[in-house]
A = this chain, B = another copy of it.
Amino acid sequence: MKLTRRNLLMTTAAATTAAAQEAPKPAAPAKPRTPAWPGSCRAFRGDALREIAFPLGGIGTGTVSLGGRGDLRDWEIFNRPNKGGLLPFTFATLRLAGGGLAKPVIRVLERRPLPPFGGASGVPRETALGLPRFREAVFTGAYPFAHLRFQQPGFPVEVALEAFNPMIPLDTDDSGLPVALLTYRFTSRAASPLEAAVAFSLMNPVGYDGATRLRGRRAPFFGANLNEFRAERDLRGLLLTSQKYPPDSARYGSLAVLTTAGDVSWRLAWEHGGWWDEFQKWWDEFLLKGRFSNAASKASPDATTEYATLAAHFPLGPGETKRILFVLAWHFPNTENYWTQEKENRGRPLRNWYGSRFASAFDPAAYAARNFQRLRERSARYRDLLHGSSLPPAVIDAVSSQASILRTNTLMVMENRLTLAFEGCNDNAGCCPMNCTHVYNYEQALAHLYPDLERSMRDTDFLTNLRPDGSMSFRTPVPLRQGGNRNQPAADGQMGCVMKVYREWRLSGDDAWLRRLWPQVKRALEYAFVQWDADRDGVMEGEQHNTYDIEFYGPNSMMGTLYLGALAAAARMARHLGDTVAATSYEALFQQGGARLDQLLFNGEYYVQKVDEKQERAGRYQYGEGCLSDQLLGQWFAEVVDLGKLLPHEHLRAALRSIFRYNFRASFEDFPNTQRLYALNDEAGLLLCSWPRGQRPALPVVYSDEVWTGIEYQVAAHLIYEDLIKEGLAIVQAVRDRYDGARRNPWNEIECGHHYARAMSSWSLLTALSGFAYSAPHQELRFRPRIQRAAFRCLFSTGTSWGGYSQSLTKEKLEATLEVEGGTLELASLRLPYLGVKPGLRAPFKGAVTLQQGELAIRPAAPLTLKPGDSLRVAVSDSPLP
């Protein structure tokens, strides 16, 4: 059944059902008219701005970050991380004249600097921090949007900045643009007309290696840098190139800055001179003349580059508001394989995906400028559905902010969308390469937001990295190589990958894809029978390398639940594909394994490890009687993919409660930790492991005393799945409190590296709180909100579609609305909560409704197909619906 467009649906009398009917009511929850953003966001100011670096960039394009003060920092657009990387003299400046001003005023569009101000020769002058700035700024961020309000008492203009890079779920193309869109907004407080100009200055960085600290425009890798002005009908801007490098060089590329402003002036190269002359002359020209010369320029001498400025000029009447858009775009199409240890591959250039889509930085800049309204609206819709949802602010913050990871240098996308993912980023290099199976066990954001890239990783896992013996290389050498590397496989990673195939298949419904992978999936699963579960009792006991970079010896529920989850997932896939023999065998082993694991390891409070003391290396780095935060990792994953319980439910709940009770600390002030330091002083956080009953091994599992946000979110989400809401939210709040802008950057959670992929487990907070599940093979969508059920709203992404869900729920009635924003939602079944006993349905389709254990199953007579803009509203009630 094809549904009508939203407007049509809203105004027509809808189809009847077997049950009662009801007219649409304005009281029903609907798309919020006023987005909650930025109401749900933290506002940062003063000291809390110091660590903020909000990444602006598309998937696989690298990023430049917006600092808390409005500065551009951490230039990571050169195909590698670059924490602290600064482009000299790259900043935007406002000039005002007229409006009753005695003389022109110039102010850099940033907050003034925060201490410390040390440094061998003072604050580096190439920051341009010597120019006047605003006294304070208030930063709010709702990824992908950052917003800054600048404050300066008595300043004749109100100034704000909105910065973002388009992010639209499922739309990998438009979410993969190498641009930063900066919109400065000016509102005059002056009594008479002002003449305003915004000058965007930047260094031509083409040739930069992305790692050296730049202190000016001189460096050996520069030379033949050329800045050109380009005007097209609706756009004016600068293209910054270099003629020094051929197109296949890793140093080759371009930068562009464009504006849609009508009146511009520009300077293609700051006037040269000794000492401080270049900057002084630039200042004098802008201050005194107010416009730049528009003079021609030529390529720079070797080992030097040029600074350039593009200025937009506009009048601003009293009370008037104007917006000036600057599109900053880049194009560095060749990634250098700097990370491999293999001599023959080191330094080999690789073409990246975005590089192959565009010819120069001008192309994506122009595309983004011309499609600005659409890109902004779609991105804002994603933002508003998430930030306007009923989730607690800390959860929204965790889900929203950590989705940024997939658009940092942690994730590389190469030609043909081959997805290569580091675990995270060191200051100047990805760390550790590549597609690590066990770290990516935790990540759930990419799978739901950009499942095409997630499937690319599965292809690599199973079609390239799986060896003939069924073991999987748990890292990916580049270039890809059949069988991957020679390291031992990771038990958790390999089992997790089987579950991930199940997830990807459920979200895509792509049977052909599943069939292609299936023989390899079986081989990967059955490798466990050889290596880890040699006695084939459904419980691993062999040497189990895992995400703690060590081996577990003997049964443990972390590997155990992943193994059970893999068996359960594989059984379902086998049934679907008609592989009955496999299905039956997996199901049997699943049953046997679950019972045995529970019997072996549950100590009344939680699941322990039975260390296999016979193993030579089992004397170290085991957790034994400890309470491991990851002890139910497989069960958590099973919740996300709706696989059901792997172990007795009450034991699972008890174990979760124990994890919270024993591993969550309100303070680390008196906690001695010889390991790595992610929580300090009076910060709160969740330990990886504790030994509440004593018997802590002298040399316990490594990382036991650490605090990893990826595991914190995993446990928090799992607590929430079990309706232990308060506990789950306490953990999430603790994480976000640690990332408060003064201590750490809210948009960069660290573990072994910045922007660490494990933190994308935060997406499961959204699925847990909304009770979201989607099975594309069954075209079944479920919501089971766990908070604020009376009036609940959330974002969803099924992998094929995304949009908003909202419900109002009373004792006797459910009203629910589904709005599709992108993709296509095929719907044969909708499962929703219900508190009544006699459900009668009113919906714009014919269908049946059944109630089981407080959950409705609404089945249209024929599957529905919802497209972007479609809205589906259903009402179910014990009373007759009007």
Contacts from A to B (Cβ < 8 Å)? 50-51, 83, 106, 112-113, 115-125, 127, 129-132, 135, 273-277, 279-281, 283-284, 287, 424-427, 431, 550, 620-621, 669-678, 680-681, 698-699, 702, 705, 738, 742-745, 748, 750-754
Contacts and interface: CB of A to CB of B under 8 A. Distances in A.
Contacts of A283: 672, 674
A362 B534 CA distance: 61
A277 B106 CA distance: 57
A131 B672 contact: yes
A284 B698 CA distance: 8
Given A135-B669, A280-B674, A621-B275, A680 B120 contact: no
16 contacts: A112-B680, A115-B743, A117-B680, A118-B745, A120-B425, A120-B754, A125-B674, A127-B677, A130-B705, A131-B674, A273-B699, A275-B699, A275-B702, A280-B674, A281-B698, A284-B698
Contacts of A752: 120-121
A743 B116 contact: yes
Contact of A744 (B117, B281, B681, B751): B117
Nearest to A274: B620
Question: When A and B form their complex, which 5 residue pairs have the shortest distance between CB atoms, in order from nearest?
Answer: A130-B673, A279-B674, A123-B677, A115-B743, A280-B674
A864 to B, nearest CB: 48
Contacts of A127: 677
A750 B118 contact: yes
B672 A106 contact: yes
A130 B675 contact: yes
Contacts of A274: 620-621
Given A431-B120, A669-B112, A125 B675 contact: yes
Contacts of A424: 120
A699 B748 CA distance: 43
Given A122-B677, A275-B699, A276-B675, 15 more contacts: A51-B118, A112-B680, A112-B681, A117-B680, A117-B738, A118-B748, A119-B750, A121-B750, A123-B678, A125-B676, A130-B672, A131-B673, A276-B702, A281-B699, A283-B672
Nearest to A742: B115
Contacts of A745: 118
A330 to B, nearest CB: 23
Contacts of A277: 620, 699
B680 A426 contact: no
A676 B116 contact: no
A673 B106 CA distance: 12
Contact of A129 (B122, B123, B680, B705): B680
B680 A123 contact: yes
Given A50-B116, A115-B743, A275-B621, A121 B672 contact: no
Contact of A120 (B119, B120, B279, B427): B427
A499 to B, nearest CB: 28
A574 B690 CA distance: 83
B113 A750 contact: no
A815 to B, nearest CB: 46
Interface SS of chain A: loop
A120 B275 contact: no
A681 B113 contact: yes
Contacts of A280: 674, 698-699
A671 B132 CA distance: 6
A116 B677 contact: no
Contacts of A427: 120
B426 A118 contact: no
A675 B123 CA distance: 10
Given A283-B674, A743-B115, A751 B121 contact: yes
Contact of A750 (B122, B287, B677, B748): B122
A744 B116 contact: yes
A755 B744 CA distance: 30
Nearest to A669: B132
Given A275-B702, A669-B112, A672-B132, A426 B120 contact: yes
Contacts of A744: 115-118
B677 A130 contact: yes
A844 to B, nearest CB: 52
Given A112-B681, A115-B743, A276 B674 contact: yes
B426 A117 contact: no
Contacts of A705: 130
A754 B123 CA distance: 12
A678 B753 contact: no
Nearest to A275: B702
A567 to B, nearest CB: 32
Contacts of A132: 669-672
A700 to B, nearest CB: 8
Contacts of A50: 116
Given A669-B132, A699-B277, A677 B117 contact: yes
Nearest to A131: B672
Contacts of A112: 669, 680-681
A280 B701 CA distance: 12
A341 B672 CA distance: 49
Contacts of A135: 669
Given A116-B742, A621-B275, A699-B280, A122 B671 contact: no
Nearest to A284: B698
A754 B116 CA distance: 14
Nearest to A115: B743
A550 B120 CA distance: 21
Contacts of A125: 674-677
Contacts of A120: 83, 424-427, 431, 750, 752-754
B743 A117 contact: yes
B674 A116 contact: no
Contacts of A750: 118-122
A506 to B, nearest CB: 35
Contacts of A129: 677, 680
Given A620-B274, A699-B273, A699-B280, A121 B675 contact: no
A57 to B, nearest CB: 19
A427 B702 CA distance: 35
A125 to B, nearest CB: 5
A33 to B, nearest CB: 39
Contacts of A426: 120-121
Contacts of A753: 120-121
Nearest to A670: B132
A72 B125 CA distance: 30
A751 B123 CA distance: 11
A158 to B, nearest CB: 18
A315 to B, nearest CB: 24
A177 to B, nearest CB: 27
A806 to B, nearest CB: 38
A50 B680 CA distance: 16
A95 to B, nearest CB: 12
Nearest to A744: B118
A550 B274 CA distance: 11
A577 B625 CA distance: 90
Nearest to A429: B120
